């Protein structure tokens, strides 16, 4: 059951990444904003990798000890938020060009990936409890 979920999540997050990548590149190409494309590509990579890593860690901790899942979920969520916040602060204080498109891209990707991750995690927890 766990392998099926891993394949489903990996496939879904890859499709979501391709949709975001296509929409973002098309949007930034239409506005001739090539500096935004560079930021957007790095952000896509960041969110794709962090979503995969944190989701697999959450599933691993749930399978290992379901009673401590809530604690691990909160700990990993706070860690992920601090990582994202650090990236935002570093970018804002070091770079002035393209700040608007960076922030719009960041928050759009954050909401999209977080929404997908919560849906898939909820689905996995329901299936695990139904056993």
Mean pLDDT in residue range 87-97: 83
- Dihedral sign computed on CA atoms, order 72, 73, 78, 80: positive
Percent of the chain whose predicted confidence (pLDDT) is above 90: 37
Q: pLDDT tens across 14-56, in order?
A: 999 999 999 988 888 887 777 778 888 899 999 999 999 998 8
Q: Three-state secondary structure along 26-85?
A: HHHHHCCCHHHHHHHHHHHHHHHHHHHHHHHHHHHHHHHCHHHHHHHHHHHHHHHHHHHH
Q: Where are the domains of the chain?
A: 2-130
**By the 8 A CB rule, do 54 and 13 touch?**
no
pLDDT at 127 over 90: no
Per-residue confidence (pLDDT) for residue 130, from 0 to 100: 65
Structure tokens at 107: 């928050």
């Amino acid at each position: 059951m766990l392998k099926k979920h891993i394949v489903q999540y990996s496939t879904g997050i890859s499709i979501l990444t391709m949709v975001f990548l296509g929409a973002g590149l098309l949007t930034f190409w239409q506005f001739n904003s090539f500096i935004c494309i560079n930021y957007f590509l790095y952000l896509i990579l960041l969110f794709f990798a962090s979503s995969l890593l944190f989701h697999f860690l959450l599933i691993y901790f749930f399978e290992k000890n379901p009673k401590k899942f809530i604690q691990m979920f909160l700990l990993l969520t706070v860690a992920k938020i601090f990582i994202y916040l650090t990236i935002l602060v570093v970018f804002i204080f070091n770079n002035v060009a393209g700040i608007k498109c960076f922030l719009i891209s960041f928050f759009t990707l954050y909401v999209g990936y977080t929404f997908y991750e919560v849906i898939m995690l909820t689905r996995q927890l329901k299936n695990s409890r139904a056993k």
